[in-house]
Copies of this chain bind each other. A is one copy, B any other.
């Protein structure tokens, strides 16, 4: 029986109404996303302050600790208690975190629409990552994923200014997370995934290799690394890719797909993982592009 951590469920209101003046000089009331500071304490020691929408703060904190490699398993955590009255997440570990001072001393300020601070040397770690060779995606599944995201009710639709991430199993949506910082969104997914895997650990449970990670944000190196750390071999983005994101995707063998809207997309890395089972009818422009590229 795995030891799952005790988690509060301190969801906070996700939007706030504010009054603005528009281009006609008229006042109107609109919604903007909430944004809260959440200071994380590990065994009463202050670790970091995250700025978050506050939808699933416990999964966020758990995923943050996992993705920063401060813990290797959810079983190391006894409890996470989030209290919005004091904007604090109190993490209690079962046996402490080894050398936490030393491991959080190196700062890398990264690119990207997100939290952006990585402790330690995540880049050094990527060569140890082995993504499942058979993991892949069908073009028809990709289209279903893009469509599922398009139809999703979201804070983005009501208030804008948030990033979304989602986890799919094939074309089936498993978790949809929004946050003001997209790294918070991916960390939240990582926290949730780790809990599921631990709770259902059995030979029959779907492996991470069958999972697809979707993000509205750019594929920066950090996003690609975090996906690979979760064992997810295919990432799909509505946006583009940065050079280091591409470098990391090539190095770890991850299939990176960007500019995914309606029937269009670009596969930046490892297209052998993508099965072209739903090629759209060629438009005159597409024929021209193909001719020019061949």
Contact = CB atoms under 8 A, between A and B. Distances in A.
Interface string A149-160: 000000000011
Contact of A51 (B27, B221, B290): B221
A107 B26 contact: no
Given A110-B181, A265-B23, A293-B26, A242 B35 contact: yes
B240 A160 contact: yes
Contacts of A242: 32-33, 35, 161, 180
A202 interface: no
Interface residues of A, number: 74
A148 interface: no
B33 A243 contact: yes
B115 A267 contact: no
Interface stretch (A129-137, A190-198, A275-283): A275-283
Interface stretch (A13-21, A91-99, A165-173, A206-214): A13-21
B111 A289 contact: no
Contact of A240 (B16, B32, B280): B32
A244 interface: yes
